[in-house]
Structure 1
Amino acid sequence: MAIYHLSVKLISRATGRSAVAAAAYRSASRLEDNRLQRTHDFTNKTGVVHSEILLPAGAPERWKDRSVLWNEVERTETRRDAQLAREVEFALPRELPKHAAIALAQDFVREQFVAPGMVADLNVHWDSGEEDGLHRPHAHVMLSLRGVEEVSGPDSPQKRTRFGLKRREWNRPALLSVWRQRWAEQVNACLSEHDLDLRVDHRSNAARGIPLEPQRKVGSAASRRKVRGEQSERVSDHLGIARRNGDRLLAEPSLVLETLTRQQSTFTRQDLARFVDRHTADPEQFVQVMAKVEACPELVALGKGGRGQERFSTRDMVAVEQRLAEMSVKLGQTQGHAMSLRIRQAAMRVPGLGEEQALAVGEVTKSRDLSVVVGYAGTGKSTMLGVARKAWEKAGYRVRGAALSGIAAEGLESGSGIASRTLASLELSWGHRDGLLERGDVLVVDEAGMVGSRQMERVLSVAHAAGAKVVLVGDPEQLQAIEAGGAFRAVAERVGSVGITTVRRQHPLWQQEATKELATGRTGAALERYETAGLIQGHQTLEEALSGVVADWDTARQAHPGKSGIMLAHRRVDVRALNEAARRIRQERGELEAGVELPVMTAQGERLFAHGDRLYFLRNDRHLGVKNGT
């Protein structure tokens, strides 16, 4: 199972540390330390599979030389107890291919550290545990504590770049919370992209309802001492926690299974052994806990998976999926939402509806209490739901909408006119006996492919008990469930679905085909169509590409001032560069209020805002009345 770990510490002279020595060790290189007048040589160290320095905008190229960079940091810091650098260490999923894990680390470092202005020295280690021989991939990131500034003196009018003042906002505890949450989000997105039924969670055991003590990480040096029979205070503390956790698991072995299925719906014996090994103190306790867990009546053998390994689940997880299947069939067979043929036929003949949309309207307005709509993006699902809403309301039914994310709920509401909320807020209000579903209600769940088995089962059970109808809308190929299980696909297989495959957002046939290809992962084929049509522009460098995008954006908005336009980039560091370039153009043209800019601390560092700026929010905030994506 994928492991979550992210820790932050300072490298300081007060503890006898050297930034140059730390950089040499993490990169397995040989560096000269000018301040200490000595050489740090760690070229015999193995396991370093990737090493690079990433620079923020405005940083000089000379800092790409590791020796130059960290010797300059040492020279800048004059205090005997100076803080030299910040180190962030995080675990990489061993289940990912090596190249994918490295790319994941690079994206996270660029987004969270380099974009706000830090210099980042990234080293990915792919070593193995001395006790179990398993790969333990992880990344070390050394970060500068000072910003970049340009200076010029009376003797040298030519500007030069150096480290400026220390950025105190980079020390905020809230920023660590942002890093921890964002790393979990990026890991889970990457695991989904590689079709791995695994999840990590940045929250503490207590916050997740897991009654086990959190363990302190034991470094490689401490692990070697442990193997030799020596015990440091850290190792002793780690073993004490492991023993107490092992005793807890001996008393309550079902905790192992419950915790495993929070992250994956099925697991192997190896997954089980890894978890128990992490939470026991020695081989004797490990064997005892494994025996208890394997004898636990909650454990269910499912047979061999695609790789020939025996896979297991829990009675609870199997029961959830069985209840989901039974509830799907029950709702599908219940005929509780009939409407007159006249209203249904009128809805299907609404001008502007395509043939598939009309058939979908006819399907979802049937009397049965569960309908499933499968469709690609851009096929007009929201338009179809808007027509269906009017038909349901004309027949006397109340229509409500829900989605997993706030911005998806907002999109459902704006696109179809169905008042919508997040599923989490709906379930919370149901728990307080508020806003309950009633007989005759219709609940439309958008982006249902993202809903996990447990939550889907709960929603369908509540609807069935209330006598409400549920309409699930989504694309099982495009979106992956966030929690364990693939509920949307399972429901669709049991009760059937109506498909909308004709893309209506684009009109030329080749663009419609390209959209379908993008939705089903055939990206190369889609891009070939755009290239054939002359709609892809190549550039020699990233800088030229960024400049070209901004120039095209500016040309298009001047030619069509009444239309909206958007620039997209894969990395947040490039997004920020595009935004700043576009903002400079707007300032030069007087589109932003001149001379009045307010500094605001954001999760991406300090930003300046002026009257006329457009803001994009990255989290929900009820006090501001915004959602993630507003």
Structure 2
Amino acid sequence: MAIYHFSVKNISRSDGRSAVACSAYRSGEKLIDERQGKEQDYTKKTGVELKKIYAPENTNPELLDRNQLWNIVEKVENRKNSQLAREFEIAFPHELNQQQREQMLNELCQDIIKRHGVVVDAAIHAPHTANGSDERNYHAHIMFTTRSIDEHGNLGKKTREFNDNGKQEVEFWRESFADLANKHLARAGYLTEVDHRSYANQDNGLQATIHEGSKVTQLRRQGIDTEISLKNDAIKAQNSEKLVEIINGLEQEIIATEKTIAKLRTESPHSHEKTKYDVDVHN
């Protein structure tokens, strides 16, 4: 069953964060944070499957360089509480292979550019199975500027979509990402689909887990349980049981349907002729 995860985060100076440091970590590179006079070296980080910068066609070449891009952002966003970047964090359906993940990421990033006119810095991360991560957890961090590219190819005005209609904009992207994932799953030959709606809205009996955050995640990787991680483990176990019930129920429905079709065929006086079902399904 395909996994759906899509979240939107802000990278803000008021939270003590640096756009340069964030990009260095996600890309697994060594970048120089000119504002802090600090080297951000994450070259020892493993699992970076792909890193790529996407931008509008008229973007100045210096903004296509990861180190220059985020240092320019740090200079332009000069307030102590500046919002430096936004980030989409997505999980790929585990059914997709590396090439299919890259194709899906390319399409998503191009859609972001079309809608917001921004520069996008994206990286695909493979799961750290040695640290206890689920082997299906291929995901991407998609950082993008809060300013669109102007007619001169520079960072121009602040984008207003998330500020003016934040809830609607996030919902737009959650639904768009689900549609994109389902399109790529179908293209790869899978019938399974993801659903961007909450478990409550899907009315499927499943329960959402609690966001763990970086501290809880780090402790989990060290083998240390917390109240949140234990509760999430319990929720996941309950959901797994419920999913088994759902899948078994679907299988029983399929078996019952097949039996009904077979019975209708044997009872039909023209059972040797092709039925409408045969034509629709097998042609």
Q: Spell out, residue by residue over 1:299-327, the C-alpha distance to the aligned partner (whole angstroms, 9 max, x if none).
A: xxxxxxxxxxxxxxx25523334225514
- Secondary structure of 2:126's counterpart equals strand
Deviations 1:288-308 (A, max 9, x none): xxxxxxxxxxxxxxxxxxxxx
Larger radius of gyration: 1
- The alpha carbon displacement at 1:242 in A equals 3.4
Query: Per the alignment, do residues 132 and 44 of structure 1 end up closer, same or farther by CA in structure 2, a change over 3 Å counting?
Result: closer
Matched, 1:204 2:198: yes
| Residue aligned with 1:198, SS | coil
1:123, CA displacement in angstroms?
A: 0.5
Letter in 2 for 1:226: R
CA–CA separation in structure 2 for the residues paired with 1:124 and 1:132: 15
Equivalent position of 1:506 in the other structure: none
**Residues 224-249 of structure 1: CA distance to partner in whole angstroms, max 9, x if unpaired?**
41243445xxx532422433564x56
Matches within 5 A, 1:112-127: 113-116=112-115, 117-127=117-127
Aligned to 1:257: 244
Alignment of 1:497-516 (within 5 A): none
One-letter amino acid matched to 1:88: F
One of 196, 213, 219 as aligned partner of 1:225:
219
Residue 164 in structure 1 maps to residue 169 in structure 2: no
State whether residues 208 and 235 of structure 2, in contact with CA within 8 Å, keep that contact through their aligned partners in structure 1.
no
- 2:98 and 2:211 map into 1 onto residues whose CA distance is 23
Go from structure 1 to structure 2 and tell me whether the alpha carbon gap of 1:245 and 1:61 turns closer, same or farther (over 3 Å shift): closer
Query: Which letter maps to 2:243?
Result: V
- The change in CA–CA distance for 1:66 and 1:244 in structure 2 (over 3 A counts) is closer
Which deviations, in whole Å up to 9, do the C-alpha atoms of 1:542-583 show, x marking residues without a partner? xxxxxxxxxxxxxxxxxxxxxxxxxxxxxxxxxxxxxxxxxx
Question: Is this contact kept in 1: 2:212–2:228, CA < 8 A?
Answer: no
Going from structure 1 to structure 2, the CA distance change for 1:325 and 1:177 (only over 3 Å counts) comes to farther
C-alpha distance in 2, partners of 1:103/1:19? 26
Q: Residues 321, 189 of structure 1: CA spacing in aligned structure 2 closer, same or farther, 3 A cutoff?
A: farther
Q: Contact 2:216–2:229 at 8 Å: present in 1 too? A: no
Partner amino acid for 1:115? Answer: K
RMSD: 2.8
**DSSP 3-state at the match of 1:147:** strand
**2:233 aligned with 1:242:** yes
1:338-364 alpha-carbon deviations (Å, 9 max, x no partner) = xxxxxxxxxxxxxxxxxxxxxxxxxxx
The whole-number CA distance in structure 2 between the counterparts of 1:22 and 1:185 is 28
Structure 1 stretch displaced more, 179-188 or 213-222: 213-222
Residue 113 of structure 2 aligns with an amino acid whose one-letter code is V
Residue number among 170, 194, 212 corresponding to 1:176 in the alignment: 170
- Supply the AA of the counterpart residue of 1:161: G
Matched, 1:143 2:144: yes
Does the 8 Å contact 2:30/2:40 carry over to 1?
yes
Report the 3-state secondary structure (helix = DSSP H, G, I; strand = E; otherwise coil) of the residue aligned with 1:206: helix
Structural mapping, 1:162-561, within 5 Å: 162-171=154-163, 172=165, 173-218=167-212, 222-230=216-224, 235-243=226-234, 246=237, 253=241, 255-259=242-246, 261=247, 314=248, 316-327=250-261, 330=264, 371-372=276-277, 489=281, 492=282
Contact residue 209 and residue 236 of structure 2 kept, 8 A: no
Contact 2:56/2:113, CA 8 A, preserved across alignment: yes
1:190-244 C-alpha deviation (Å, 9 max, x unpaired): 222222343222111111112232113446763341243445xxx5324224335
Q: 1:229 to 1:257 in 2, by over 3 A?
A: closer
2:99 match: 99
Residues 21, 33 of structure 1: 8 Å contact kept: yes
Structure 1: where are the runs of 5+ without partners?
151-159, 262-313, 336-367, 375-487, 493-498, 500-630
The residue type paired with residue 371 of structure 1 is K
So what's the TM-score if we normalise by structure 2?
A: 0.86
CA distance in 1, matches of 2:9, 2:133: 27
| Distance change in 2, residues 1:132/1:68 (3 Å) | closer
SS in 2 for 1:88: strand
The aligned counterpart of 1:134 is: 135
CA contact (8 A) 1:118 1:145 kept: yes
TM normalised by structure 1 equals 0.41
Retained in 1: the 8 A contact 2:30–2:43? yes
Letter in 2 for 1:243: A
- 1:35 positional shift: 1.0
Inter-partner Cα distance in structure 2 for 1:45 and 1:178:
33
AA matched with 1:13: R
Aligned pair in 2 of structure 1 residues 186, 317: CA closer, same or farther (>3 Å)? same
User: Share of identical aligned residues, percent?
Assistant: 31
| Counterpart Cα distance in 2 of 1:141 and 1:328 | 51
Asked which structure has the greater RCO (Cα within 8 Å, sep 6+), the reply is 2
Distance 1:25 1:132 in 2: 18
Q: Distance in 2 between matches of 1:68 and 1:243?
A: 45
Q: SS at the partner of 1:239?
A: helix
- Output the CA distance in 1 between the equivalents of 2:44 and 2:51: 15
Q: CA deviation at 1:132?
A: 5.8
Equivalent pair of 1:128/1:135 in contact (CA under 8 Å)? no
Would the aligned equivalents of 2:55 and 2:119 in 1 still touch at CA under 8 Å? yes
User: How far apart are the structure 2 equivalents of 1:99 and 1:115?
Assistant: 23
Cα displacement (A) at 1:48: 0.5
Partners of 1:30 and 1:132 lie apart in 2 by 25
Partner of 2:5: 5
Q: Is the 8 A contact 2:207 2:239 kept in 1?
A: no
Q: Which letter maps to 1:208?
A: Q
Number of paired residues?
Answer: 276
Mapped to 2, the partners of 1:126 and 1:97 lie a distance apart of 11
Whether the 8 Å CA contact 1:332–1:371 is kept in 2: the answer is no
Amino acid aligned to 2:234: R
1:133 Cα deviation from its structure 2 partner: 6.2
- Please say if 1:68 is aligned against 2:68: yes
Partner of 1:109: 109
- Report how far residue 103 of structure 1 moved: 1.2
1:516-535 per-residue CA deviation (whole Å, 9 max, x = no partner) reads: xxxxxxxxxxxxxxxxxxxx
**What secondary structure sits across from 1:115 in the alignment?**
helix
Q: Unpaired segments of 5 or more residues in structure 2?
A: none
